[in-house]
Amino acid sequence: MTLLPSALRKRALDKDLKKIVALEAIGHQGGLRLVPLGLSLVFLALVFVMTAGQTGVDQGAWLIVAAAVIGGYMALNIGANDVANNMAPAVGARALSMGGALLVAAVCEAAGALIAGADVVSTVSKGIIDPAAVGDRGVFVALMMAALLGAALWLNLATWLEAPVSTTHSIVGGVLGAGLAAAGFGAANWPVMGAIAASWVVSPMLGGLAAAAMLALLDRLIIQADDRVAAARRWVPVVVAVTAAAFSAYLVQKGLSKVWRPPLWMLALLAAGVFAVALVAVGRLVARQAPALDNSKKAIGTLFTAPLIVAAALLSFAHGANDVANAIGPLAAIAAAVQGAAGAKVVVPGWIMLIGAAGISLGLALFGPRLIRMVGEKITKLNPVRAFCVALSAAVTVLAASALGLPVSSTHIAVGAVFGVGLARERHARRGGHIRRQARLNEAARATAIEDEVPPRATADGWLPGMEPDPAQDPLTIRKAAKRRLVRRRHLLTIAAAWLVTVPLSAVISAMLFLAMVRLVPGLEG
């Protein structure tokens, strides 16, 4: 039956309407993607206006204004890339929604930056490049501006590539590259750079091993117990109390070090007191919840949800207190240089701290979900227990490394912990599959022995004589078990490559920017 002309016109019209709807949807999505960019530009414009109002029109003020805008851009990229490591496990484990995680992280990051971050990072301004080797004030200002912008550009690219990298390594690479371009190889502190290079290997290995060990411990103590509820009542308070003690020490040592640095004995006493209080409080809470729980793994995992959220919040506070300096450290060094005190330690004005705190929080809210989904969902599947292991291992590993004087990166530790948990799951799944396969073969062997009236005499390991299962009899099962991967290798390779190129690439970008600045910008010539 042939279609009537009206029917043909109707079909063509339907197709055209579908195309129009599809184009409108694409345009709408494109418009939504432009919203974060527009808000970022508004933030940088506000930074420009605020800094101009603070510095006035004195000679050299324009350098501080330009540096403040670049520092705001760096803070946006820190929020977009680095904060994801703290919140990703909680989101991946469904302990927090994306909106809840963004809100908690933004508040805690800003609080950490404003309360405990008011100091210049001497390593950024003096530890990598000796200001005395630079000499000229204009060259030093150009060096710091190039380092800040080069590090920010690399972080922007890494976020677009969905690669969580170390913001500290980025700014260190930027200072190194611009410093080498300004003063040559003799101006660099190569022992410090060697320690940073060592952390590329040390940090993820420590984080991965610590997280895998904690997961194995919880699996043995609680998850594999016959009565999981009873095991949870016994061990969850202990584990959470250890976590509370570790995080209290972590918070004081890393997050509050700018305002309070107690001696080691006082830090240990504080941790012991927190452990005792948490043990009693959590024990009562778990005892109250236990009667309503069944014996499933999912039910037991709910006991770790609240500690996971608190751990993520404390990690964000400590991160804001420490890593805000990666944005405002070079900015403060530039302000000091313009005022004639290059390389000196200065007090950071409140308006500079506000730029760093607001920039990190806004960058997290606008661009953070991309990296949160990568770390929390795309590398491996997380539940509250696994995510809790990631958060706890991050705090414990940073504390232990600091006590031993090992150079580590909190970013590398956190991401390494996610990979460690995933690889431990792979090993456990393959081992479990092998045991189940052997059990099925053993049952078949026993059934055959009964049918053939063979005396069911078993050896010491439980197998019937002559009936031990041969792995070669089931090659398909072996191949499937060997190929079962619970960690996406392509993400592992991408992130590892990004870690390796962070310092050299930031250095190259910053060196090129420095050379361009001293040639093109008046007042920055050496």
Query: 167-183 and 489-520 helices cross at what angle (nearest 10)?
Result: 40
Bigger pLDDT: 304 or 333? 304
Segment holding 219, helix H or strand E:
none
Integer Cα distance of 307 and 312 in angstroms: 9
Instruction: State which of 30-39, 245-254, 481-490 shows the largest mean pLDDT.
Output: 245-254
SS3 per-residue string spanning 356-381: HHHHHHHHHHHHHHHHHHHHHHHCCC
Integer Cα distance of 430 and 124 in angstroms: 46
Q: Is the pLDDT of residue 464 over 50?
A: no
Q: Is the pLDDT of residue 451 over 80?
A: no
Kindly state the tokens that stand for 354: 């506000």
Residue 441 lies in a domain: no
Residue 115 lies in a domain: yes
For 349, which DSSP code?
A: P
Q: Across the chain, which distance is largest between two alpha carbons, in Å? A: 102
SS3 per-residue string spanning 220-258: HHHHCCCCHHHHHHHHHHHHHHHHHHHHHHHHHHHHCCC
Angle at 211 between CA 205 and CA 216, to 5 degrees: 125
- How confident is the model at residue 70, as a pLDDT? 93
What is the domain count for the chain? 1
Burial of residue 267, with CB atoms counted within 10 A of its CB: 0-12 exposed, 13-18 middle, 19 or more buried: middle
Query: Under DSSP, is residue 12 helix (H, G, I), strand (E, B) or coil?
Result: helix
Question: HSE (CB half, 13 Å, CA atoms) of 193?
Answer: 21
Residue for token digits 């962070």?
502
What's the rounded mean pLDDT across residues 419-448? 66
Question: Taking a C-beta distance cutoff of 8 angstroms, is the pair 93, 383 a contact?
Answer: yes
Kindly state the tokens that stand for 302: 């709910």
- How confident is the model at residue 121, as a pLDDT? 44
Least confident stretch, 119-133, 459-473, 512-526: 459-473
Kindly state the tokens that stand for 62: 């324009």
- How confident is the model at residue 260, as a pLDDT? 73
What's the rounded mean pLDDT across residues 335-359? 73
Integer Cα distance of 98 and 365 in angstroms: 10
Integer Cα distance of 423 and 485 in angstroms: 8
- How confident is the model at residue 115, as a pLDDT? 74
115-140 pLDDT, tens digit each? 766 543 444 545 666 666 666 777 88
Kindly state the tokens that stand for 234: 């016994």
75-115 pLDDT, tens digit each? 999 989 887 788 889 998 988 888 888 888 888 888 888 77
Residue 6 lies in a domain: no
What is the secondary structure of 77-122 as a DSSP string?
Answer: HHHHHTTHHHHHHHHHTTSS-HHHHHHHHHHHHHHHHHHH--S--H
Could you list the residue range(s) of the whole structural domain that residue 341 is in? 41-434+482-520
Least confident stretch, 50-59, 138-147, 237-246: 50-59
245-300 pLDDT, tens digit each? 888 887 787 666 666 777 878 888 999 999 999 999 999 999 998 888 888 888 88
Query: Under DSSP, is residue 213 helix (H, G, I), strand (E, B) or coil?
Result: helix
Q: Is the pLDDT of residue 511 over 50?
A: yes
Tell me how far CA of residue 503 lies from CA of 144, 155, 319, 340, in angstroms: 16, 11, 20, 29
Question: Taking a C-beta distance cutoff of 8 angstroms, is the pair 221, 385 a contact?
Answer: no
Residue 426 lies in a domain: yes
Question: Taking a C-beta distance cutoff of 8 angstroms, is the pair 388, 311 a contact?
Answer: yes
Residue 25 lies in a domain: no
Residue 14 lies in a domain: no
Residue 196 lies in a domain: yes
Q: Whole-model pTM above 0.85? A: no
Residue 51 lies in a domain: yes
Q: Is the pLDDT of residue 466 over 60?
A: no
What's the rounded mean pLDDT across residues 420-426? 88
